[in-house]
């Protein structure tokens, strides 16, 4: 896929960038020269990503440690991104749930709903 820095840049925000698909997307976007805002909970993994992307592609990387299953994360993201011109958002962070629904608890279900459904909406600028 062709990603144009002029169209989507200068900043892209990727949630769930610490591992897996989100990390791969962060690498791909950085390889096209976009600066990255990387969001996830695990700071050491985000620090490592920041260092590697900066060294390899000479771009800027901001990291935000946030639990997107919690409503408070919305305000933190707003505060930390308001000065940045973000042209591309990849709301990738998410989890699945296995097992019987009847055995699950309401708190876990509410967190899953917030992470998978509410946070992708909340991270878009108002």
Ligand X SMILES: NC(=O)c1ccc[n+]([C@@H]2O[C@H](COP(=O)([O-])OP(=O)(O)OC[C@H]3O[C@@H](n4cnc5c(N)ncnc54)[C@H](OP(=O)(O)O)[C@@H]3O)[C@@H](O)[C@H]2O)c1
Which positions lie near ligand X, rule CB under 6 A? Answer: 16-22, 40-42, 45, 67-69, 92-96, 115
Q: Between 5 and 47, name the residue whose CB sits nearer to ligand X.
A: 47
Number of H helices, E strands in the chain: 6, 4
3 or 45: CB nearest ligand X: 45
Whole-number CA gyration radius for the chain:
15
Shorter beta-carbon distance to ligand X: residue 5 or 76 = 76
H/E segment holding residue 73: helix 73-81
What does the buried/exposed string (b/e) look like for 16-38 if buried means 16 or more CB atoms within 10 Å of the residue's CB? bbbeeebbebbbebbebebbbbb
Q: How far is the CB of 106 from ligand X (least distance, A)?
A: 17
Least separation in angstroms between residue 93's CB and ligand X is 4
Least distance CB 103 / ligand X (angstroms): 20
How many other β-carbons are positioned within 10 Å of the β-carbon of residue 101? Answer: 7
Let me know: does 124 contact 75? Beta carbons within 8 Å.
no
Minimum CB distance to ligand X, residue 96 (Å): 5
Helix (H) or strand (E) holding 116: none
Give whichever of 4 and 108 is closer to ligand X, judged by the CB atom: 108
């Amino acid at each position: 896929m062709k990603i144009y820095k002029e169209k989507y840049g200068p900043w892209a925000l990727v949630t769930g960038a610490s591992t897996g698909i989100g990390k791969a997307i962060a690498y791909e976007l950085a390889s096209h020269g976009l600066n990255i805002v990387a969001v996830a909970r695990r700071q050491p993994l985000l620090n490592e990503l920041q260092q590697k992307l900066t060294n390899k592609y000479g771009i800027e990387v901001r990291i935000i440690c946030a639990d997107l299953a919690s409503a408070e994360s919305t305000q933190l993201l707003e505060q930390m991104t308001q000065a940045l011109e973000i042209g591309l958002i990849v709301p990738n962070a998410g989890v699945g749930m296995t097992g019987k629904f009847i055995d699950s608890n309401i708190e876990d279900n509410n967190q899953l709903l917030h992470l998978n459904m509410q946070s992708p909406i909340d991270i878009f600028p108002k």
